[in-house]
Structure 1
Amino acid sequence: MAAGMFQPLTETAYAKINLALHVRRRRDDGYHELETLFAFVDAGDRLQVTPADRDSLRLSGEFAPLLAEEDGNLVLDALALLPRRHGWLVSLDKVLPVAAGLGGGSADVGAVFRLIGRTYGLPDHWHALASKLGADVPACVESVAMVGRGTGTELSAAPDDLAGCPVLLVNPRVPLPTGPVFKAWDRVDRGAMPEGSAREIALYGRNDLEMPALSICPQVGDVLAALGQTGAWLSRMSGSGATCFALYDSKAQRDAAKAYIEAKHPDWWQLAGALR
């Protein structure tokens, strides 16, 4: 296909948050048995695809240098798993912080899967392919509120009454890799995730990785304390941290919270949006 016949494709890699994350046990394979409520913000990294002789990746954005330091990239791994008629140059504008509990790499892969699905269609076993790339990836392909069980790959629909809810993400600009946080978990099963609507699960659930994350990165506590002053009806750490989120009843409340955080902590990263 000639380049002129191919309109550039664009897609957003929506930021993933865990409205609740219950860690039940450590499995024999080293992974952890989880119950989580995934939700997605209507903003994130941005991808653009143009035809190329071979698959390649071009990075830009504030957090691109951190990805450039890594040996590989999940976007290229995803392209290798999904056959197409032509090579793709993927331009990735890295808006989301790295090692931040937002599923950044998984969200990028989810966007690639959606782009390929729109262009060529996904194979019937796409879920298995996505799971090979990470436990969050199948949920990130869907990018709507989902309940995840097992390692997070066993998905079911969530009674979603939070679509459109104003949300603010805040990160203290401290990378927090997932592995050490799970290692610091005390292996105490504190009970199942509650049933009910997304709002009920969020309100009455918890994040079992919050305490181990705090033991490694005390700045998480600073973020949660600051968000607690902004009138949110819920604030919690996402995933393994260090990003925290706050949910609001109105956009005006969210925007006022963003301004408050900017004034108090101008060095922190923020993203304002709404749940999808």
Structure 2
Amino acid sequence: MRETAYAKINLALHVRRRRGDGYHEIETLFAFVDCGDTLSARTAERDELRIIGEFASQLSDPFGNIIAKALAKLPRSQGLALTLEKNLPVAAGLGGGSADAGAVFRIVGAPHGLPDDWRARAAGLGADVPACVESRMCLGHGTGTALSGVVNDLDGAPVLLVNPRIPLATGPVFAGWDGMDRGPLPAGPASAIMRAGRNDLEPAAIALVPQIAEVLAALGESGATISRMSGSGATCFALYADARARDAASARIAAEHGGWWQMRGALRP
């Protein structure tokens, strides 16, 4: 069996308050790109995990990572031998580990379904994991685990992901948030929420990794209909009117910033 661990992006991310437990109340519009990491699986006597791909070396403890934890969360009658092709950068605001865990849930659930409490099991692995299991556009509230539907009028929109190849941990970015509540997500379909929304973590992320501002500037000059940082960074995304415009922007950015990581795709339903 083969599953794509779809890259997660936050079309908008509003931070509302810091909670007493140290987490933050957020409101976000989750979206998923039709590409990402790849997980291949076969039945085995015991669980096995092999990691390949461009960013494999950034996962130094494969059996302590979120894939192994996801396997341990789910009841199964057989072991699974998994191969992860790590195409997404680590600590990049794309929910890479959460997406990998989501793909594990889909692989395990495909033959017999998931337990009724799978959402709680997924949330125990990370705030983005429940959304990543379904990998469909949705709204996230609370810490991001309370999900609701949204009218998706952006299905198939061409998207370009760009990262300056600088890892950025989530904790320090949230710690750098200025604490100001700038208001809730707007109402309406996804396109309206995206355009009127914002990412409240951009200033804190840029303070830690100034190159994010360079990426946003390059995307802003690339003919995109909108560009923004995803999650806690450092990856930024841009949407385009058509695939030709996206590919032209990708080529231009590659020529001017050859060291940056890129991925081209389209938004999923």
Match of 2:16 in 1: 24
Contact kept, 8 Å, 2:51 with 2:62, in 1: the verdict is: no
Match of 2:225 in 1: 233
Match of 1:99 in 2: 91
Give per-residue Cα distances to partners, 1:80-118, cap 9 Å, x unaligned.
Answer: 110111100110000000000000000000001111111
Return structure 1 stretches of 4+ with deviation > 3 angstroms: none
Distance (Å, rounded) in 1 between the aligned partners of 2:86 and 2:250? 21
Give per-residue Cα distances to partners, 1:162-183, cap 9 Å, x unaligned.
Answer: 0100000000000000000000
Contact kept, 8 Å, 2:49 with 2:63, in 1: the verdict is: no
Decide which of 37, 51, 64 is 2:43's aligned counterpart: 51
Give per-residue Cα distances to partners, 1:4-42, cap 9 Å, x unaligned.
Answer: xxxxx1000000000000000000011000000000000
1:185 and 2:177 matched: yes
Distance (Å, rounded) in 2 between the aligned partners of 1:84 and 1:40? 28
Distance (Å, rounded) in 1 between the aligned partners of 2:172 and 2:63? 20
| More off after superposition, 203-212 vs 109-118 | 109-118
Alignment of 1:209-228 (within 5 A): 209-228=201-220
1:257 and 2:260 matched: no
Alignment of 1:130-149 (within 5 A): 130-149=122-141
Match of 1:62 in 2: 54
Once the two structures are TM-superposed, the CA of residue 71 in structure 1 deviates from its matched residue by 7.2
Distance (Å, rounded) in 1 between the aligned partners of 2:48 and 2:25? 35
Contact kept, 8 Å, 1:103 with 1:136, in 2: the verdict is: yes
Distance (Å, rounded) in 2 between the aligned partners of 1:185 and 1:57? 36
Once the two structures are TM-superposed, the CA of residue 51 in structure 1 deviates from its matched residue by 1.7
Distance (Å, rounded) in 2 between the aligned partners of 1:117 and 1:70? 22
- Structure 2 counterpart SS, 1:133: coil
Q: What RMSD, in angstroms, separates the aligned Cα atoms of the two structures?
A: 0.9
User: TM-score when scaled to structure 1?
Assistant: 0.96
Match of 1:123 in 2: 115
Once the two structures are TM-superposed, the CA of residue 55 in structure 1 deviates from its matched residue by 1.1
Identity over the aligned pairs, expressed in percent? 64
Unaligned runs of 5+ in 2: none
Contact kept, 8 Å, 1:84 with 1:120, in 2: the verdict is: no
Match of 2:263 in 1: 271
Once the two structures are TM-superposed, the CA of residue 69 in structure 1 deviates from its matched residue by 4.8
Contact kept, 8 Å, 1:18 with 1:238, in 2: the verdict is: yes
Residue type of the partner of 1:103? G
Number of residue-to-residue matches in the alignment: 268
- Structure 2 counterpart SS, 1:215: helix
Distance (Å, rounded) in 1 between the aligned partners of 2:73 and 2:147? 21
Decide which of 223, 238, 246 is 1:246's aligned counterpart: 238
